[in-house]
Amino acid sequence: MWTHLRALIVKEMLALLKDKKSRLVLIAPPIIQLFVFGYAATFDLNHVRYAVLNEDSGGASRELLARFEGSGTFECAARLSNDTQIAPVIDNKRALLVIRFPSDFSRNLESGRSADVQVNVDGRNSNSAMLVLNYVQTIISSFNSSWIKAHGGRAPPANLVVRPWYNPNLVSRWFIVPGIVGLLTLLVTLLITALSVAREREAGTFDQLLVTPLSPFEILLGKAIPGVLLGLTEATAIILIIVFWFKIPLLGSLIALYLGLLLFLLSSIGVGLMISSLAVTQQQGLLGAFLFLVPSIILSGFSTPIANMPEYLQTLTLINPLRYFIVILRSVFLEGATVNLLWPQYWPMAVIGCVCLFSSAQLFRRRMY
């Protein structure tokens, strides 16, 4: 049994790593994606271009504008002179927002009345629009409290003291990047396992394998173990890049992380082998992998929270192994979670993995011929 397995594993590793093309497929896309995701996938706003229509001649509006300039987030794209210019600026995407100070802005403020400032936001990207409004609100709030301090007047009876945990500067890269470990591990293991049997079928080596005394179970394990080994290696490499290149803190226990990783590999390889035992050609294997991959990424909470989905989709995510692993990743990286805290995530992956492996063994036995 052990001789058989070792031979199968060595063969599989050699077949995967000796060919330049397949080595490239295993190494290049994950690295490219890691960097693309790491840098491009951000919900934070930088370089927000704004235009100003300042009908006010007083100093207060200039003081407020100076805060926009100094925030580092906003960049002035245009100064407008009348309100007919507002629409074209937004329509043509020259600026994401137009700030308009009415002519009585400074006068109202100085006489102790509330002064309005109108902000027009391009809502084509609703998320950006909402974030911009939040940024603007923050700037105005801080302006308000310093205005009150400087000019007297009653402060509001209560004020908010906001303290974000785990991610004090609310950098969305911290949120996205740990999730990539799960995403890429899934991609690689699925590609390895889902195509492996079909590739052998097409090359004719599968028949050659089947006429040997190897049992279906051994052949299956021989396909699964190289997937685990490569998945572990690849995940470790990505984790190292995340910690040392992207400088994202890894606060929790490595044991908790790797226990999750192992269980996740178990379940994703189970799925891959299930696809493999059904696919006759590599094309079908690729299609199957793709059909599993896209929904499982979207429904994992990787880019948008599961809580925002409709109820029935939320229920559907319960069978998605990536969902649990993403939670583990973020908890271990950012929240410093330990094994104890993560049981609710571990056991579903173990169940999914066992069910998939068992049923692929069954399918495999039946489709041996």
Partner 1 sequence: MRFLQNPDPERRAGRMRMRGMLRKEALQIIRDPSSIAIAFVLPIVLLFLFGYGISLDAKHVPLAVVVESPSAETAGFAASFEQSEYLSPQRFGTIQEAEQALIHHTVNGIVWLRNDFEEKLLSGESAPIGVIINGVDANTARIIEGYVNGAWTSWLQQRAAAHAGTLNIPVRLQPRVWFNAEMRSRNFLIPGLIAVIMTLIGALLTAMVVAREWERGTMEALMVTPVTAKELLLGKLLPYFILGMGGLLLSIGMAMWLFDVPLRGSLLLLLLTSALFLVAALGMGLTISTAARDQFVAGQIAIVATFLPAFMLSGFIFDINSMPAAVQLVTRLIAARYYVAILQTVFLAGNVWKVILLNSVVLVLFCVFFLGLARRRMVKRLD
Partner 2 sequence: MPVSSDILNVLELSGVTKRFTSSQQTAPALHEVSLRVRKGTVTGLIGPDGAGKTTLMRLIAGLLVPDSGQISVLGIDAVREPLKVQQVIGYMPQRFGLYEDLTVQENLNLYADLQGLPDAERPARYAELTKMTGLAPFTKRLAGKLSGGMKQKLGLACVLVRPPQLLLLDEPTVGVDPVSRRELWSIVYRLVKQENMTALLSTAYLDEAERCNEVILLHRGELLGQNSPAEFSRQIEGRSFQAVLPGINKRSLQSRLACSPGVIDATIQRTGVRIVMKNKMQPDAANLPDGIRIEPVPPRFEDSFISLLRDKDGYHTIRNVPSVQAAPAGSSGEDMITVDQATRRFGSFYAVKGVSFTVKAGEVFGLLGANGAGKSTTFRMLCGLLPATGGKLSVAGLDLRHAPAKARARIGYMAQKFSLYGDLSVQENLRFFSSAYGLGGDEQRERIEWALQEFELNEYAGSTSRELPLGYKQRLALAAALMHRPKILFLDEPTSGVDPLARREFWTRIAGLAEEGVTVLVTTHFMEEAEYCDRLVIMAEGSILAEGTPDDMRARVQSDRLSDPTMEDAFIHLIEEHETARRPDAVLAKS
Contact 185, 235 (CB under 8 A): yes
Binder of residue 308, out of partner 1, partner 2, none (CB less than 5 to 8 A by kind): partner 1
Q: Is 214 in the site for partner 2 (CB under 8 A)?
A: yes
Do residues 270 and 355 make contact, with C-beta atoms less than 8 angstroms apart?
yes
215 binds partner 2 (CB under 8 A): yes
Strand ranges inside 252-322, DSSP E: none
Q: Verify binding: residue 192, partner 2, rule CB under 8 A.
A: no
Asked if residue 298 binds partner 1 (CB under 8 A), the reply is yes
Q: Is 127 in the site for partner 1 (CB under 8 A)?
A: yes
Scanning 209-217, 229-237, 252-260, 297-305 for contacts with partner 1 by CB under 8 A, the matching segment is: 297-305
Output the DSSP codes for 175-222: HHHHHHHHHHHHHHHHHHHHHHHHHHHHHTHHHHHHTSS--HHHHHHH
Between 276 and 300, name the residue whose CB sits nearer to partner 2: 276
Q: Which of 124, 205, 261, 266 binds partner 2 (CB under 8 A)?
A: 205
Select the binding partner of residue 47 from partner 1, partner 2, none (C-beta < 5 to 8 A, by kind): partner 1
Interaction with partner 2 in 15-34: which residues (CB under 8 A)? Answer: 15, 18-19, 22
| Segment lying near partner 2 (by CB under 8 A), choices 13-21, 101-109, 227-235, 269-277 | 13-21
Distances from the Cα of 296 to the Cα of 11, 186, 196, 226, 271, angstroms: 30, 10, 21, 23, 11
Does 71 participate in binding partner 1 (rule CB under 8 A)? no
Dihedral angle computed from the Cα positions of residues 212, 214, 220 and 222, in that order, rounded to the nearest 10 degrees: -90
Alpha-carbon distance of 179 to 174, in angstroms, equals 9
Residue pair 224/266 in contact by the 8 Å Cβ criterion: no
* CB 119, min distance to partner 2, A: 59
211 near partner 1, judged by CB under 8 A: no
Residue 23 interface partner, choices partner 1, partner 2, none, CB cut-off 5-8 Å depending on type: none
Neighbouring C-beta atoms of residue 335, cutoff 10 Å: 15
Cβ 283 to partner 1 shortest distance, Å: 6
Nearest 5°: the CA angle 28, 30, 33 is 105
Rounded to whole angstroms, the Cα distance separating 273 from 217 reads 12
Token code pair at residue 1: 């049994």
109: exposed, middle or buried (C-beta count within 10 Å: 0-12, 13-18, 19+)?
buried
Does 348 bind partner 1 (CB under 8 A)? Our answer is: no
Indicate which single residue of 3, 82, 92, 114 sits in contact with partner 2 (rule: CB under 8 A): 3
Q: Which stretch binds partner 2 (CB under 8 A): 107-115, 130-138, 212-220, 332-340?
A: 212-220
| Partner from partner 2, partner 1, none binding residue 42, C-beta < 5-8 Å depending on class | partner 1
62 binds partner 1 (CB under 8 A): no
Q: How far apart are CA 35 and CA 27, in angstroms?
A: 13
Q: Where do contacts with partner 2 occur on this chain (CB under 8 A)?
A: 3-4, 6-8, 10-11, 14-15, 18-19, 22, 203-205, 207-215, 369
